[in-house]
Amino acid sequence: MCGIFGVYNLPGDANAFRQRALFLSKKLRHRGPDWSGCTVAGNHILCHERLAIVGVESGAQPLTNDDETLILSVNGEIYNHKALRKMCAEGTHFKTQSDCEVILHLYKTMGADVVKHLDGMFSWILLDTKKNRILAARDPIGITTLYQGWNSKQPGTIYFASELKALNEECDRIIAFPPGHIFDSETGETTRYFEPTWWDGEKIPSNPVDYKLIRESLEKAVRKRLMSEVPYGVLLSGGLDSSLIASIAARETQKIINGTVPLNKDGDDVDESAVASWPRLHSFSIGLEGSPDLAAARVAADFLKTVHHEYTFTVQDGLDAIADVVYHLETYDVTTIRASTPMYMLSRKIKAMGVKMVLSGEGADEIFGGYLYFHAAPSAADLHTETVSRVKNLHYADCLRANKSTMAWGVEARVPFLDKSFLEVAMNVDPQEKMSFKGKMEKHILRKAFDTSDDPTAQPYLPDSILWRQKEQFSDGVGYSWIDTLKDTALAKVSDEEFAKAAARWPQDTPQTKEAYWYREVFEQWFPQEACTESVVRWIPRGDWGCPADPSGRAQKVHDSAYDKNAPHA
């Protein structure tokens, strides 16, 4: 993953703005510490800060075609790039081994429809100098980040950047570019290209659960995300989601080592070079001393035989990092900041080891109704509608957290649960199968899909204690005193008098707790412009289901009594 910055239709001499563009792009250099590029064409500028994962030696950007009439700046990975190369016109000349260059060449034959063929996580800007046309697109779920901005004093000029901090000094209106959409300057419109069968949350699916299909679809999603020319690892909290991804990655890595994976089959791209130099899978976990997650991650790592790296932090370490976390996350959402802080610190440790890419478990809770507040869903239909809504809004929450917490240190996080094909399978399951009640744990069908206890000849994916471990939100699992201390710190930092005036200070999206007030104040210190708040959305449980407003899993009544722990799993 990388950092991109672009300006379309600058007034006056674009070359005069070049140094300013380089300065703004530099604000994204943590995302791409390996190289920088800048191209000026007419009155347009495209910049790129590169993190080299694929095509390491030849993939510097912005990319251009042979006559340099097409210019492309990309953040992300295109997993099916080798299959797409076969769709290019005969005789197409590829300048690099970059997985992203294929976008340029397919654009020549299919125009904006190229985005519909991409399988990956991406945000990109493509400039067609012949047509004076710019396209900007973001991946279907918003795994990568992208912002679009305007300056009212420069009508007709449009700004794009991977992060808010590159735009807030130039633009008086900024939005989070919508996932699954493409902007075309020819029409001036931003349209949705991603049209999965499950998009309408009011249409309730009725497909029976197919455990084999769920298992095989997730395995394929992990396998394609092993595409890398650099060492990679897995984030391992010891919860179900990250442990499953780690288990599958360990199996697939071993298959590559053994030569039993058919490379490039069905568009899958698995590069053996990373495995050759990093033959054992490395796993990474973090928590306060004695945290539930550290203990569980240790069990999972021992079982999977990963090279495990365990890091502890102190509450003071976390408190000291809050201001930097808000700067990098560009949000004041309570649950995002709570969870991002330990992930941010862990990413720094990972980068120090020379690892550039990790697999992570984001998305499973939204897909399968895994958060503990889902126990309060009034009906299966309500649960399904909520899962669709949560998946659609992941770019404001867990995707934003995973992307920016890791990219703050130049580490790329890949999320197999949000694979397009896997979503087609999982989001079309009858939601009655996802309902949680006594004797049936949250994410029951996902657990059953990887439960091999009825087959004595099968190699288990995970120990039973991990496969059937109750949901523990990451910000809780790192140690219960983490959230407790954040609340206590906010009580000390924000006076009753200040809090009483919160609505007057922030009439829009007024903080409801002193902790939220504290984060909002820190956010405003970094991003004082009014335009910066439009892209922030707060994550809260469903109050109309009777759930507490505090997003912590421990705040939900079912945390200690969600199910009968002695009941059968079936």
CATH number of the domain that residue 337 is part of: 3.40.50.620
Residue 433 pLDDT greater than 60, yes or no: yes
Contacts of 221 (CB under 8 A, 6+ apart): 416, 417, 419, 421, 422
| Cβ neighbours of 507 (radius 10 Å) | 8
Higher pLDDT, 532 or 567: 532
Whether residue 152 is found in the same domain as residue 240: no
Q: Do 113 and 162 lie in a common domain?
A: yes
Helical ranges in 32-161 per DSSP H: 81-85, 101-110
* CA–CA separation, 444 and 172 (whole Å): 47
Q: Do 185 and 231 share a domain, yes or no?
A: no
Same domain, 397 and 528: yes
Task: Note whether 220 and 176 are same-domain residues.
Answer: no
Cβ atoms 434, 214 nearer than 8 A: no
161 with 150: CB under 8 angstroms?
no
Structural domain includes residue 38: yes
Q: Sign (positive/negative) of CA torsion 355, 361, 556, 449?
A: negative
With respect to residue 201, please indicate whether it lies within any of the assigned structural domains. Answer: no
pLDDT tens, 78-123?
A: 999 999 999 998 888 898 888 899 999 999 999 999 999 999 999 9
We report the CATH number of the domain holding residue 45 as: 3.60.20.10
Average pLDDT, the chain: 90
Question: CA-to-CA distance for 356 and 348, rounded, in angstroms?
Answer: 11
**Closest among 13, 458, 22, 403 to 5, alpha carbons compared:** 22
* pLDDT above 70 coverage of the chain, percent: 90
| End-of-domain residue from the set 192, 224, 257 | 192
- 183 and 217 in a single domain? The answer is no
Here the tokens at position 543 are: 């109050």
Q: In what order do the strands lie in the sheet with 70-78?
A: 63-64, 70-78, 120-128, 133-138, 181-184, 189-192
Pair (216, 188) in one structural domain: no
Q: Is residue 276 one of the residues assigned to a domain? A: yes
Is 439 labelled as part of a ligand binding site? no
The predicted pLDDT at position 96 comes to: 86
Tell whether 263 is in a known binding site.
no
- Same domain, residue pair 156 and 250: no
pLDDT at residue 59, as a whole number: 57
Q: Is 535 annotated as a binding residue?
A: no
Strands of the sheet with 147-150, listed across from one edge: 35-41, 44-50, 3-8, 158-161, 147-150, 173-176
In the prediction, which pLDDT does 570 show?
Answer: 33
What are the pLDDT digits (tens) for 380-431?
A: 999 999 999 999 999 999 999 999 999 999 999 999 999 999 999 999 999 9
Looking at the fold, whether 327 and 271 belong to one and the same domain comes out as yes
Give the DSSP H/E element, type plus range, for residue 490: helix 480-493
State which residues form the domain around 452.
211-559
Task: Judge whether 553 is annotated as a binding position.
Answer: no
Q: Residue 565: pLDDT band by 50, 70, 90 thresholds? A: very low
Long-range contacts of 260-264 (CB under 8 A, 24+ apart): 261/223, 264/82, 264/83
Q: Is 293 assigned a ligand-binding role in the annotation? A: no
Token pair listed for 211: 């455990």
| Number of structural domains in the chain | 2
Q: Name the amino acid, one letter, at 382.
A: D
Tell me how crowded residue 464 is: count the other CB atoms within 10 A of its CB.
Answer: 12
Q: Is residue 565 part of a domain?
A: no
Active site residues: 2
313 with 378, same domain: the answer is yes
Name residues whose C-beta falls within 8 Å of residue 46's C-beta, 6 or more positions apart in sequence.
4, 5, 6, 38, 39, 62, 71, 72, 73, 125, 127
What 3-state DSSP class applies to 148? strand
Q: How confident is the model at residue 477, as a pLDDT?
A: 66
pLDDT of 42-66, one tens digit each? 999 999 998 877 767 655 789 999 8
Instruction: Give yes or no: residues 188 and 216 share one domain.
Output: no
Confirm whether 540 is domain-assigned: yes
Judge whether residue 21 has pLDDT over 80.
yes
